[in-house]
Amino acid sequence: MSAVFSSRRVAPVAAVALGALTLGLGLTTVPLDILTNAVAHQVGPGGPAADWVSTAALMAPPVAVATLLAARRPGNPIGWILLAIFLVAFAPVGGYAVLDYRMHRGTLPLGWVAVVLGSAWPVFLLLIAILVWLFPDGRLPGGRWRRVAVVLLGAGVLLGLAASASGVAAVAGHDIRIDAGGSLTTDQAGVWNVLHSALVLGVGASWLAWLVLQVPRYRHATGERRQQLKWLYSGAAVFVVAVFCAALVSGSTSGLARLFSNLISPRGYVAFVGCIAVAVLRYRLYEIDRIISRTLAYAIVTGLLVGLYAGLVLLATQVFRFHSTVAVAAATLVAAALFSPLRRRVQQVVDRRFNRARYNADRTVAAFAVRLKDAADLDSVRTTWLRS
């Protein structure tokens, strides 16, 4: 019993310490980028201070959510896995490797740690695969598949560690060559290519198998488990959209590309982690139907109004030859006038499919109001209300 209470005291402290370490390492990215120019670092209008703030705003929310999850549910490995993922993703290993091996000839302390962690991207992929399979209770599939799952998990961990050992081999062989971006350029051919390819194929097959199993899993789920899966799927959908948008604008320097890279895409990662935390902690779990319906409704309304606005502006300026200022003002007024009725109609259609409880409640209230108009006395009203 004392060991249980001791673990309950130690786990929150360990989670906060690991979260603080992850955030602290992530914040060192800004000075390292300025010192080494390891990446195309552009100082914004606010200078380095603005970069510190923007970096903290990007990293703090997901790290805080993962820390809360590990502290509140220490027996569930999902929170700890998230912290490990962020530690690998946010640690400025590339910048420190450049600072050590390209600028100080390997004389700085712990440069070899940066090299080893910089080659640990296979572990990053493996942790994401393990995360989705352990959701939401941190346990592998039960029944007859449990033994197979344990064997596959063990094989995956061994393969991930072996595929990530190229940095260890370079450090052990005293052959560390770093390019301007902080990546290891020591010969990685031969067995490393085979291990990397096997790991990528294995993780891809694992993700594909997980997706295939989600259809029957969701259909057979009821109650709380179904709501947990809705949270996971919603967060995953936002995450995929964010990654897709980031991939589309990669390499571009336009204002729209910076907006997606610095604002929209990072929010997708935060949404995914937040959805996992809500599903595991079961906080306001049943709000997901309302959130989904509202999000879809506003997305549809926004798309329709933007299309209508653009169409009206083009029609007025290109066909009727109105002045552009007049056309923009008229299109804005039309879009504003249509917003409320269009939102109500779209919300009803979306609720019918994604928020059935509210849709049925609204129909019950509307039907009662109709019967109330036809009621002749209070007793009839009272009887109708009780039956509804």
193-223 residue pLDDT tens = 888 888 889 888 888 888 888 888 888 887 8
Report whether pLDDT(35) > 80: no
Q: Which residues make beta-bridge pairs with 184?
A: 178
Long-range contacts of 151-160 (CB under 8 A, 24+ apart): 152/206, 156/126, 156/129, 156/130, 156/202, 156/203, 156/206, 157/126, 159/122, 159/126, 159/195, 159/198, 159/199, 159/202, 160/122, 160/123, 160/125, 160/126, 160/199
How many angstroms separate the first and last alpha carbons of the chain? Answer: 52
The candidate with the shortest Cα–Cα distance to 181, out of 119, 95, 89, 55, is 95
Q: What is the pLDDT of residues 80-118, one digit of tens each?
A: 999 998 888 888 888 888 887 888 877 888 888 888 888
Written as six digits, the tokens of 340 are 């409320």
- In a 13 Å sphere around the CA of 148, the CA atoms on its Cβ side amount to 6
- When pLDDT is cut at 50, 70 and 90, the band that residue 40 belongs to is very low
* CA atoms of 123 and 358, how far apart (whole Å): 44
Written as six digits, the tokens of 183 are 């990546």
Positive or negative torsion for Cα 344, 345, 348, 354 = negative
Give the percent of the chain with pLDDT over 70: 74
Report whether pLDDT(43) > 60: no
Report whether pLDDT(303) > 80: no
Q: Which residue has the tokens 């936002």?
A: 238
365 CB neighbour count, 10 Å cutoff: 11
The candidate with the shortest Cα–Cα distance to 97, out of 166, 185, 24, 20, is 185
Compute, in degrees rounded to 10, the torsion defined by CA atoms 355, 359, 365, 368: -140
Q: What is the pLDDT of residues 130-153, one digit of tens each?
A: 988 888 888 887 777 778 888 888
**Using omega within 30 degrees of 0 as the cis cutoff, is the peptide bond preceding 136 cis?**
yes
Where are the domains positioned within the chain? 2-216, 221-283, 296-387
Instruction: Over range 235-256, report the average pLDDT.
Output: 71
- When pLDDT is cut at 50, 70 and 90, the band that residue 18 belongs to is very high
Q: What is the pLDDT of residue 34?
A: 75
Q: Which residues contact 60 (CB under 8 A, 6 or more apart)?
A: 23
Q: What is the CA radius of gyration of the chain?
A: 27
Instruction: Over range 27-40, report the average pLDDT.
Output: 70
Q: What is the pLDDT of residue 20?
A: 92
- When pLDDT is cut at 50, 70 and 90, the band that residue 38 belongs to is very low
* CA atoms of 91 and 112, how far apart (whole Å): 14
**Residue 88 contacts residue 123 (beta carbons within 8 Å):** yes
Distances (CA, A) of 144 to 85, 136, 140, 211: 30, 20, 11, 20
Q: Phi and psi (nearest 5°) for 60?
A: -65, -45
Q: Which residues contact 54 (CB under 8 A, 6 or more apart)?
A: 44, 262
Q: What is the pLDDT of residue 9?
A: 75
* CA atoms of 182 and 184, how far apart (whole Å): 7
The candidate with the shortest Cα–Cα distance to 100, out of 110, 91, 87, is 110
Written as six digits, the tokens of 101 are 């091996």
Least confident of 89-98, 115-124, 256-265: 256-265
- When pLDDT is cut at 50, 70 and 90, the band that residue 17 belongs to is very high
* Distance of alpha carbon 357 from the chain centroid: 28
- When pLDDT is cut at 50, 70 and 90, the band that residue 39 belongs to is very low
For all residues of the chain together, what is the average pLDDT? 77
* CA atoms of 332 and 326, how far apart (whole Å): 10
